[in-house]
Amino acid sequence: MKLLARNLSRSTTEQELRVLFSAHGAVTECNLVLDQETGKSKGFAFIEMPDEKEAKVALANLHETKVSNNKIRVKIAQ
């Protein structure tokens, strides 16, 4: 299942996201979206979790939690 994490701090790294979501299950892919011109984070990322139950637990536990002083939003990616 592919999840979308939004409202991330610009300083949040892919590794931090992988660790955050891995606490709830296996993560096969983590892609922090970067601005092509500046190379800086655009504030959102896609996280791929193979087990749907684990992904739903991660979504429920991480949606609207504070990460690096930002309240992140997590939802199923379209």
| Residue pLDDT, tens place only, 34-63 | 999 999 999 999 999 999 999 999 999 999
The SS3 assignment for 64 reads: coil
pTM: 0.93
The SS3 assignment for 75 reads: strand
pLDDT at 6 over 90: yes
Backbone angles phi, psi at 6, to 5 degrees: -120, 170
- Which tokens go with 36? 């092509």
Percent of the chain residues past pLDDT 70, beyond the cut: 100
Distance, in Å, from the CA atom of 74 to the CA atom of 7, rounded to the nearest integer, reads 9
pLDDT of residue 54: 97
Average pLDDT over residues 4-11: 96
Quickly state the pLDDT bin for 15 (edges 50, 70, 90): very high
Distance, in Å, from the CA atom of 33 to the CA atom of 16, rounded to the nearest integer, reads 14
Domains identified in the chain and CATH numbers: 2-76 (3.30.70.330)
- Residue labelled with tokens 């931090």: 16
